[in-house]
């Protein structure tokens, strides 16, 4: 996960932050730093190598994939072979905003935990259960 906002969303969703990589510790909440199992201070050159963006924020986390009780779902979105990461992230964000309980992705759909999907979802991927192959 890359960026302060997405790391905060994962933290607020009580998703385990296994490793946290930070350029500037003053810009990250101390509660998130304390919550992470391991914290590493990195320099800007390392951040540029890790980043999937042109101008990295300098904040990266390795998180545990969220788990949910999928049996409680009443409103479900079925996604069939959406390959564009931006479109998939937007669908996830919309499903979250609409209050849906579960997203099911058919085979051939983009990986919901790909960095571009996570960014496009604006952290909604951490709020709604996703089942995929």
pLDDT tens by residue, 58-116: 999 999 988 778 888 999 999 999 999 999 999 999 999 999 999 999 999 999 999 99
Q: Above 80 in pLDDT, residue 32? A: yes
Q: Above 90 in pLDDT, residue 133? A: no
Of 31, 32, 27, 30, give the one whose Cα is nearest residue 58. 27
Contact 7, 21 (CB under 8 A): no
Q: What angle do CA 20, 89, 25 make, to 5 degrees?
A: 20
Domain of residue 110 covers 76-132
Domain count, the chain: 2
* Lowest-confidence segment of 44-48, 50-54, 88-92, 122-126 by average pLDDT: 50-54
Residues 57 and 86 in one domain: no
Report, as an integer, the average pLDDT of 21-43.
94
Residues 80 and 56 in one domain: no
């Amino acid at each position: 996960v890359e960026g302060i906002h997405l790391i905060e969303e994962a933290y607020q969703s009580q998703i385990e932050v296994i490793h946290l990589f930070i350029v500037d510790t003053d810009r990250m909440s101390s509660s998130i730093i304390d919550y992470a199992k391991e914290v590493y201070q990195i320099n800007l050159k390392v951040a540029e190598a890790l980043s999937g963006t042109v101008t990295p924020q300098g904040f990266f986390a390795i998180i545990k994939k969220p788990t949910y009780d999928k049996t409680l779902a009443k409103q479900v979105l079925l996604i069939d072979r959406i390959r564009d990461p931006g479109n998939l992230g937007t669908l996830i964000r919309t499903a979250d905003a609409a209050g849906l309980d579960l997203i099911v992705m058919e085979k051939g759909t983009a990986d919901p935990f790909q960095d571009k999907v996570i960014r496009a979802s604006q952290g909604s991927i951490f709020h709604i259960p996703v089942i995929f192959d």
